[in-house]
Amino acid sequence: MAVVSTLLSALPPVSTLAVYLVLVVGVVFAIHILSQLIIPANPKQPPTVFSWVPLLGNAVQFGMDPITFLKDCQKKYGDVFTFTMVGKRVTVCLGADGNQFVFNSKQSLSSAAQAYNHMTKFVFGPDVVYDAPHAVFMEQKKFIKAGLNSDCFREHVPMIVEETENFFKTYGNSGSFDAYEAFAQLVIRTASRCLMGKEIYNNLDGSVAKLYYDLDQGFQPINFIFPNLPLPSYRRRDVAREKMAELYSSIIQRRKEQNDTDNSDLLQALIDATYKDGSHIPDHHIAGMLIAVLFGGQHTSATTSSWTVLELAAQPELVKALLQEQIDKLGSVQADLTFDNLKDMPLLEACIRETLRLHPPIFQMMRKVVADKVVFEKYNLEIPKGNHLCAAPGVTQIDPVYFDEPLKYNPYRWLEKSDPVHQMEQGDDANIDYGFGAVGISSRSPFLPFGAGRHRCIGEQFGYLQLKTIISTFVRTFDFENLNGKVPGSDYTSMVVVPQHPAKVRYTRRA
């Protein structure tokens, strides 16, 4: 007791402590601000965006409205600049050349795993995706891509139609609903049914829903910055991942024991696949890959379907044209939608593309520099080890250099091909195979909602198929409009860009 009181008496009074504290904080701020103004910038490196707050840097501006922030920086600093986000130095590379520089960077120079794995390994589990050696991850992508093939898609379309019809049956003849909430619920059903397996799908209203929810709570922007805090949500995430892995293991075991192999889901494709060395894929890899697929496809497709409906709701003549397209191609809006007839609906496809151009769910993608430096030759700039490289297709996709009237939702631009983007040279890197088949698009394209290069999405075809089936079924079923008369703004606070609340759609069932 005596020691404590002696120590306390040695401390300055509280008011003096507060003054010291304010002084220290003031000095730290002053050093941070003055150092940016006084110390000459290294001309070999990209310019650094000014910030007032040490460590936090530009995180608040970026977090609240990243597209405006990046466009403002572009005006001030050009296509390549570095900003600070909670201690991370992020070098943004804009424009078609910026996309190409980031997406085509060699593995030995910059790494997606180093940028993402600190967060994803807790959700997907060990030895898969960014936690696997790069070559193994590419093989895993190959398995997933092979499992998403035309034969399966043929079976998937009627399943998605049935899910969509059943989902909206409960909506009655008229009313209103929140677009993102509704489509998130629908997509979890369609994606689970087509990809995750009937066992998971049949349990969606039971324990699986809670596991999905807990995993999802561990896949938020906060987890990117603080991947492992001693908080209940982090513990629930870990428990859910373990339970999910156990659940998959028991499902795989049962399918093998009962010779239940005639399934069109991705789970079956992974059970049947073997690694290059001939070994079967271990159960925990299968579980991890399926969780990764769920997270890759769920929120992205949910937000894209809700944005599409919100944009269509503002343009009734487009809805009419979509219905007319169905009548022209199928004879009537009662005819069955199939994998083959959905391929022949250019306006429907253009609507999805236009949504992905204007509202890309993932508007920026990161890599971490792992070499001593990387050199962006076009600008003769060096980006040092430890910086993150950031490509932002969300900015190039609304750049008037590539698209006329870029903020207008105009699906016909994809049919008329009159935008400047169609006249520009892109590159022959679309044919490169990084281990999961040809990438399919040049990394110099300004339109990259599915990324490019070795980390390009392998769910694009399934994504389009699911979205086209859902949207065509929805427009057949309802007449609809935006409840508050306009398309809502974007909310950037979750992992994908979603419509700001309220995003309500008023609907009337068609006769």
Among residues 66, 98, 125, 297, the one that binds ligand HEM under rule CB under 6 A: 297
DSSP classification of residue 133: -
Helix (H), strand (E) at residue 178: strand 174-178
Instruction: Round to whole Å and give the CA distance between 67 and 73.
Output: 10
Which of positions 450-479 make contact with ligand HEM (CB under 6 A)?
450-451, 455, 457-459, 462-463
Instruction: Round to whole Å and give the CA distance between 471 and 113.
Output: 34
Q: In the complex, what is the shortest distance from the CB of residue 250 to ligand HEM, in angstroms, rounded to a whole number?
A: 23
Among residues 161, 208, 293, 312, the one that binds ligand HEM under rule CB under 6 A: 293
DSSP classification of residue 453: G
Three-state SS sequence of 368-429: EECCCEEEEHHHCEEEECCCEEEECHHHHCCCCCCCCCCCCCCCHHHHHCCCHHHHCCCCCH
Which of positions 412-451 make contact with ligand HEM (CB under 6 A)?
449-451
Q: Which is nearer to ligand HEM, 57 or 147 (CB)?
A: 147
Task: Indicate left, alpha or beta for 440 from its phi (over 0: left) and psi (-120 to 50: alpha).
Answer: left
Q: Which is nearer to ligand HEM, 300 or 445 (CB)?
A: 300
Instruction: Round to whole Å and give the CA distance between 102 and 93.
Output: 7
Q: Which is nearer to ligand HEM, 144 or 337 (CB)?
A: 144
Q: In the complex, what is the shortest distance from the CB of residue 439 to ligand HEM, in angstroms, rounded to a whole number?
A: 11
Q: In the complex, what is the shortest distance from the CB of residue 259 to ligand HEM, in angstroms, rounded to a whole number?
A: 26
Three-state SS sequence of 261-313: CCCCCHHHHHHHCECCCCCECCHHHHHHHHHHHHHHHHHHHHHHHHHHHHHHH
Q: How many distinct helices (H) and strands (E) make up the chain?
A: 21, 12
Closest of 112, 144, 145, 155 to residue 130, by C-alpha: 112
| Interface with ligand HEM, residue 362, by CB under 6 A | yes
Which of positions 110-129 make contact with ligand HEM (CB under 6 A)?
112
Residue 121 carries which side chain, given as an amino acid letter? K
Q: Which is nearer to ligand HEM, 444 or 455 (CB)?
A: 455
Q: Which is nearer to ligand HEM, 374 or 458 (CB)?
A: 458
Feature table: binding site for heme: 457
- Give per-residue burial for 267-295: e unless 16+ CB within 10 Å, then b: bbbbbebeeeeeeebebbbbbbbbbbbbb
Q: In the complex, what is the shortest distance from the CB of residue 33 to ligand HEM, in angstroms, rounded to a whole number?
A: 33
Q: In the complex, what is the shortest distance from the CB of residue 81 to ligand HEM, in angstroms, rounded to a whole number?
A: 20
Site string for ligand HEM, 5-24 (x = CB under 6 A): --------------------
Choices 86-94, 174-182, 229-237, 296-304; region in contact with ligand HEM by CB under 6 A? 296-304
Number of chain residues interacting with ligand HEM (CB under 6 A): 22
Q: In the complex, what is the shortest distance from the CB of residue 366 to ligand HEM, in angstroms, rounded to a whole number?
A: 7
- Neighbouring residues of 427: CB distance < 8 A, sequence distance ≥ 6: 100, 442, 443, 444
CA 160 to chain centre: 21
Q: Which is nearer to ligand HEM, 141 or 357 (CB)?
A: 141
Q: Which is nearer to ligand HEM, 77 or 224 (CB)?
A: 224
Among residues 46, 66, 98, 296, the one that binds ligand HEM under rule CB under 6 A: 296
Q: In the complex, what is the shortest distance from the CB of residue 447 to ligand HEM, in angstroms, rounded to a whole number?
A: 12
Secondary structure class of 161 (helix, strand, coil) = helix
Q: Which is nearer to ligand HEM, 301 or 396 (CB)?
A: 301
Q: Which is nearer to ligand HEM, 112 or 395 (CB)?
A: 112
Q: In the complex, what is the shortest distance from the CB of residue 384 to ligand HEM, in angstroms, rounded to a whole number?
A: 21
| Interface with ligand HEM, residue 301, by CB under 6 A | yes
Helix (H), strand (E) at residue 468: helix 460-477
Sheet with 388-391, side-by-side order of all strands: 80-85, 88-93, 388-391, 365-369, 110-111
Asked if omega into 502 is within 30° of 0 (cis), the reply is: yes
Provide the residue count of the chain: 511
Residue 376 carries which side chain, given as an amino acid letter? F
Feature table: binding site: 457
Which of positions 166-225 make contact with ligand HEM (CB under 6 A)?
none
Q: In the complex, what is the shortest distance from the CB of residue 314 to ligand HEM, in angstroms, rounded to a whole number?
A: 21
DSSP classification of residue 132: S
Tell me the DSSP string of 217-254: HTSSHHHHHSS--SSHHHHHHHHHHHHHHHHHHHHHHH
Q: Which is nearer to ligand HEM, 304 or 445 (CB)?
A: 304
Q: In the complex, what is the shortest distance from the CB of residue 245 to ligand HEM, in angstroms, rounded to a whole number?
A: 18
Instruction: Round to whole Å and give the CA distance between 162 and 166.
Output: 6
**Which residue has the CB atom at the shortest distance from ligand HEM?**
459
Q: In the complex, what is the shortest distance from the CB of residue 210 to ligand HEM, in angstroms, rounded to a whole number?
A: 22
Site string for ligand HEM, 129-148 (x = CB under 6 A): ------------x--x----
Q: Which is nearer to ligand HEM, 330 or 497 (CB)?
A: 497
Choices 82-90, 297-305, 420-428, 472-480; region in contact with ligand HEM by CB under 6 A? 297-305
| Interface with ligand HEM, residue 411, by CB under 6 A | no
Binding footprint of ligand HEM on the chain (CB under 6 A): 112, 141, 144, 292-293, 296-297, 300-301, 304, 361-362, 365, 449-451, 455, 457-459, 462-463
